[in-house]
Structure 1
Amino acid sequence: MARPWLNVLAQVVPVPLGLLLSGALVWGATNADWSGTSSNSGNTWTSSSLGLANDSKVPMFSIDDMRPGDTGSNCIEIKSNADFPTALKLYSSSENWPSNFQSFVDLKIEVGSGGTFGNCRGFTPHRTAFDGTLDTFVALYNDFRTGLGPWILPGKPPNALSFRFAWKFSPSASNGAQSTSTNEVIFTWEARERT
């Protein structure tokens, strides 16, 4: 014998169930957004560099048997590879520097353009950077903070400066300066980004 309430349920349940399913389909359709994208790929960041080089292969000076009044000179070119403006300075990083014999060696340093290591022909001085004794130079200019300069290198060719070093053994050098050598002198150029 059939149960009447099952017949009623079979007729009533499909209506709300159909409404529920159709509502879900409509809800899904109304939340389907159109979209588009545009990208820019391949982005990287690479740092620049600041390097200095000079055109020497041997020391600028290796002088033997000096006599009072002797003179000499040499040029050297300093070149930067930086593509931004830098401030260049010159100082000595010599160590254990006594202050006796070296006071008889006069030193003049000019900054300019032209000339190459071992050949100052074509050197054009722009200004005198130092004119005193070797002893004074080593004592006063010993790091970037105290160094001679700054000279501005523009960060584009020609990104170089030339320096002419001229020395003279003082005619007033005393007898105590005979058979004496200086300690090693190190001339150091340093460039930093111009701020």
Structure 2
Amino acid sequence: MSRTPSSRTATIAKIAVIPVALIASGLVVSQASYSAYSASTSNPTSNWSSGTVQLSDDDSNAALFSASNLKPGATGTKCIVVTSSGSLASTVKLYAASVATTKALASSITLNVTQGSGGSFGSCTGFTPAATNPSVFSGTLESFGTTATSFATGLGSWAPTGTATESRTYQVSYTLAANAPDSTQGGTASVALTWEAQNS
């Protein structure tokens, strides 16, 4: 069967279109691999760290008092320096970690705690009471041990700012009442003083 010139032309035209289409698709693929624009921004690595609340004292693990053979009217005074070195503002309270007594001796011992500056553990040489709110406690040892038993019921008005190391001296005095009853003879009394700081 013979084809007319026009049909041969049409066939040739169709065949010629195929390579052109393949070439065109190749160009699209080639261009796609080079046509991705991009941009980004980033923030430097984020970091977190917690602050600190730290308290220490200059007692070298020694008891403030170890008084024995007391008689009515006996008295004594010593000092202890408490230091705040934490980075957070805090409130410091004094309370009795434990109080023990026999023959009700604690009810005949008066305890006075005054806050200020100067002095050192065991010695109050150079101690100066604070200009405002110097008295921390004044009452019987029994009262101290039953009313100030935790931070929530603790005593004192010291509030370190956390911006620098701060110290506070506490002067502690005791007196066995001059009229202590005979029933307190041979009695004992003890207390563990605790200073606790909590961040504001």
Q: Which residue is 1:56 aligned to?
A: 59
Q: 1:71: Cα distance to partner?
A: 0.8
Q: 1:44: Cα distance to partner?
A: 2.9
Query: Number of residues paired by the alignment?
Result: 188
Q: 1:120 & 1:15 partners in 2: Cα distance?
A: 104
Aligned pairs (5 A) from 1:94-113: 94=98, 100-113=104-117
Q: Which residue is 2:94 aligned to?
A: 90
1:16 partnered with 2:18: no
Q: 2:147 & 2:26 partners in 1: Cα distance?
A: 92
- Alpha-carbon displacement from aligned partner over 1:78-119 (angstroms, at most 9, x marks no partner): 111211211000000115556821111111100111111011
With over 3 angstroms needed to count, the CA separation of the structure-2 counterparts of 1:81 and 1:181, relative to structure 1, is: same
Q: Which residue is 1:79 aligned to?
A: 83
Aligned pairs (5 A) from 1:180-195: 180-182=187-189, 184-194=190-200
Question: Is contact 1:90-1:144 (8 Å) kept?
Answer: yes
With over 3 angstroms needed to count, the CA separation of the structure-2 counterparts of 1:144 and 1:99, relative to structure 1, is: farther
With over 3 angstroms needed to count, the CA separation of the structure-2 counterparts of 1:168 and 1:96, relative to structure 1, is: closer
Q: 1:46: Cα distance to partner?
A: 2.1
Give the secondary-structure state (helix, strand or coil) at the position aligned to 1:137. Answer: helix
Give the secondary-structure state (helix, strand or coil) at the position aligned to 1:13. Answer: helix
- Extract unaligned runs of 5+ from structure 1: none
With over 3 angstroms needed to count, the CA separation of the structure-2 counterparts of 1:99 and 1:85, relative to structure 1, is: farther
Q: Which residue is 1:116 aligned to?
A: 120
- Alpha-carbon displacement from aligned partner over 1:116-152 (angstroms, at most 9, x marks no partner): 1011011111111111111111111101111112321
Q: 1:52: Cα distance to partner?
A: 1.1
With over 3 angstroms needed to count, the CA separation of the structure-2 counterparts of 1:144 and 1:79, relative to structure 1, is: same
Q: 2:139 & 2:108 partners in 1: Cα distance?
A: 10
Give the secondary-structure state (helix, strand or coil) at the position aligned to 1:94. Answer: strand
The runs of 4+ residues in structure 1 deviating greater than 6 Å are 4-8
TM-score (norm. length: structure 1) = 0.85
Letter in 1 for 2:58: D
Q: 1:79 & 1:39 partners in 2: Cα distance?
A: 40
Letter in 2 for 1:13: I
Give the secondary-structure state (helix, strand or coil) at the position aligned to 2:23. Answer: helix
Q: Which residue is 2:176 aligned to?
A: 169
Structure of higher CA gyration radius: 2
Q: 2:127 & 2:154 partners in 1: Cα distance?
A: 23
Question: Is contact 2:111-2:138 (8 Å) kept?
Answer: yes
TM-score (norm. length: structure 2) = 0.83
With over 3 angstroms needed to count, the CA separation of the structure-2 counterparts of 1:148 and 1:99, relative to structure 1, is: farther
1:136 partnered with 2:159: no
